[in-house]
A = this chain, B = another copy of it.
């Protein structure tokens, strides 16, 4: 099943939540084709693209002494939850929202082996008055700065347009671009390094992160107390949703310092665990252990009446980032991640075989047809 297919039973699917991939996908395909046709321009500058990065989470160019990686990423609709929670509690959550936005860019950029160097801010508000709320604006600035500090990146600048008539009044469209280097070039983790025998290490998520929010917001309509419904004692649904996305670049940088170069990485965002099938190779991914599922994700699964297959195909279910390494390094990856404050787990291994993901503890199989991103 892919994300455009109607979901069975009375579950709340992405389509019901207002995202129709059938409409977006033809554009995506034609844009991808047009984009691929521009690669040759790099030759005039003496450079070449790393073709294997097409379809990966960041675009990579070989500029000689190192590879250059770049990306732009959108927060999505999580700011709408922050706005509603501000209305209900008076508290600004925009410090966390800033971290989420940077995480969307940085966590994608590092999948190719890049060290993030520069982040640019894109904050497009529905009107000048958005920036006039000093508490909220300062939270956004402070959270952005703090996330840059955590990732060791320079905040280069950005854009703060007021776009009345395009962005809705009182709202903000948040995005981040990120540029980094893969240096030394051996750190590149796209292409043919991934192989049978590699271990799959999963890094813990903090909650829903910034994917699945359309579904989570739709679900509020079914909750008598809305965002203030408790998902655990003392923890409201809204607050739990707003747990900031984990920044994984401190882990990937620490791995390099520890002498470990991943064969491949996958940022587990939209399409949930199906992102483990992202690499184009014909390989089987066998999962023998699944991480603990955070309360807010359990709550969403239960209230949206999703079976495990639907939940793991949409949400991160406790795993925010996957690192594929030689089996001999797997335990060391867990140690390094945990030393950076990120719980981790050796969850499974890569095997020769048809392209599929087998989540054995839950008896779930996703095949190649379940993820078509390229």
A residues neighboring B (CB under 8 Å): 18-24, 26-28, 30-32, 34-35, 37-39, 41-42, 44-45, 47, 49, 54, 59, 61, 63-66, 68, 70-74, 76-77, 79-80, 115, 117-118, 120-122, 124, 127-129, 131-132, 134, 137-138, 141-142, 144-145, 148-149, 152-168, 171-173, 175, 177, 179, 181, 183
Contacts and interface: CB of A to CB of B under 8 A. Distances in A.
A47 B363 CA distance: 49
Given A141-B31, A173-B124, A154 B23 contact: no
Q: How many copies of this chain does one complex carry?
A: 2
Given A20-B162, A24-B162, A34-B155, 18 more contacts: A19-B128, A19-B162, A23-B132, A27-B131, A34-B144, A35-B155, A42-B117, A45-B183, A61-B154, A64-B65, A68-B118, A70-B120, A70-B177, A72-B121, A72-B159, A74-B163, A122-B122, A165-B171
A168 B18 CA distance: 14
Contacts of A117: 42, 45, 47, 61, 63, 68
Q: Which residue, of A118, A137, A138, has the highest number of chain B Cβ atoms within 10 A?
A: A118
Contact of A115 (B21, B45, B120, B142): B45
A117 B74 CA distance: 22
Contacts of A71: 120, 156-157
Contacts of A27: 131, 137, 141, 160
Contact of A161 (B35, B39, B68, B74): B74
Contacts of A148: 38, 41
B128 A61 contact: no
Contact of A73 (B80, B144, B159): B159
A137 B24 CA distance: 10
B63 A181 contact: yes
A130 to B, nearest CB: 8
